[in-house]
C-alpha cells in the first residue's frame, strides 16, 4: 500500500520567515495530495490540496508544489504568523475513491 513520509518532524521559524514542509509518497498511482492543519485538541482542517495533473497551486500565503517524477510534494508558507503554529499533515490519495494515507505530521512553531 501507499506510504507517506514527512520531513522534518518539527520545524521552528521566526515570525515573518518562510516555512517549507516536504512529503514523499511511494505509490505512483496516487493522484490527490491534500494538506491538513491540526491545532492542539482540534479537528484536522484542509488548508490546500493539489491533483496530479497540476504542478503548483497557490492560495494567499500558502502554496503547494508537486513533483510526480520524484514522488514528493511540499507545502510552502510565506510570512509566517504565530497562528500558523500547529501540526501539519500531508496525505496522498490513491485509487478511484482517493483513499487517503496520511503522514505522521510535522509540528510547526512560529516564534514571535
Does 58 sit near other proteins (CB under 8 A)? no
* One-character DSSP codes across 55-103: SEEEETTEEEEEETTTTEEEEEE-S--GGG-EEEEEEEEETTTTEEEE-
Q: What is the grid cell recorded at 19?
A: 516555512
Does 99 sit near other proteins (CB under 8 A)? yes
List 7, 61, 104, 111, residue binding other proteins (CB under 8 A): 104
Helix, strand or coil, per DSSP, at residue 48: strand
The dihedrals phi and psi of 82, each to the nearest 5 degrees, come to -55, -30
Only segment of 10-18, 46-54, 56-64, 69-77 that touches other proteins (CB under 8 A)? 46-54
Instruction: For the CB of residue 23, give the shortest distance to other proteins in the complex, in Å.
Output: 11
Q: What is the grid cell recorded at 6?
A: 514527512
The residues, ordered by sequence, that sit 6+ positions from 22 with a Cβ below 8 Å of its Cβ are 6, 7, 72, 73, 74
Total residues interacting with other proteins, rule: CB under 8 A: 25
Instruction: For the CB of residue 85, give the shortest distance to other proteins in the complex, in Å.
Output: 17
List 75, 92, 93, 108, residue binding other proteins (CB under 8 A): 93
| Site of interaction with other proteins (CB under 8 A) | 1, 4, 31-32, 34, 42-46, 49, 51, 89, 91, 93, 96-105
Amino acid at each position: 500500500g501507499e506510504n507517506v513520509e514527512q520531513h522534518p518532524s518539527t520545524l521552528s521559524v521566526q515570525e515573518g520567515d518562510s516555512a517549507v514542509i516536504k512529503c514523499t509518497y511511494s505509490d505512483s498511482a496516487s493522484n490527490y495530495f491534500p494538506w491538513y492543519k491540526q491545532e492542539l485538541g482540534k479537528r484536522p482542517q484542509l488548508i490546500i490540496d493539489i491533483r496530479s495533473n497540476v504542478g503548483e497551486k497557490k492560495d494567499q500565503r500558502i502554496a503547494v508544489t508537486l513533483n510526480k517524477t520524484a514522488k514528493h510534494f511540499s507545502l510552502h508558507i510565506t510570512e509566517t504568523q504565530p497562528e500558523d503554529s500547529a501540526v501539519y499533515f500531508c496525505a496522498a490519495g490513491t485509487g478511484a475513491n482517493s483513499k487517503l494515507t496520511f503522514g505522521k505530521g510535522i509540528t510547526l512553531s512560529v516564534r514571535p
